[in-house]
Structure 1
Amino acid sequence: MLIVDLFCGAGGLHIGFKEAGYRIGLSVDNNENVKRTHLYNHPFVPFWNRDIREIDTNEIREVIDYESLDGIIGGPPCQGFSTIGRRVSSKPEVRNTYDPRNELVDEYIRLVRELQPKFFLMENVKGILTWDKGEFINNIIEKFKGCGYTVDYKLINMADYGVPQTRERVFILGNRLNQPVSFPASTHSDSPKDGLKPWVGCWDSIKDLVNHEEDPGFNHVPLKHTEKNIERYKLIPEGGRLPEDALPPELYRKNFGNTFKRLGRKKPALTMVPGNDAFPIHPILNRSLTVREAARIQTFPDNIIFKGNRRQQGHQVGNAVPPLFSKILARHIKENILKEKQLEFQFND
Structure 2
Amino acid sequence: MNDRSREIFRLVVDAYVETGEPVGSRTLSRRLGMDLSPATIRNVMADLEDMGLLFARHTSAGRLPTDMGLRLYVNGLLEHGNLSKDEQARIKLQCAAGGRSLPQLLEETTGMLSGLSQCAGLVFAPKLSEPLKHIEFVSLGPGRALVVLISDSGAVENRVVDLPLGLPPSALVEASNYLSARLIGRTLEEAIVEIGIELKEHQLLLDELSRKVVELGLASWAQDMNGNPGGALIVRGQAQLLEDINALEDLERVRHLFSALEKKESLVRLLELTKTAEGVQIFIGAENELFAQAGCSVVMAPYKNSRQQVVGAIGVIGPTRIDYARIIPMVDYTAKILGRMIG
What interval of TM-score do these two structures reach, taking the shorter chain for normalisation?
under 0.3
Q: Which of the two has greater helix per residue?
A: 2
Q: Which has the larger radius of gyration?
A: 2
TM-score, with structure 2 as normaliser: 0.22
TM-score, with structure 1 as normaliser: 0.22
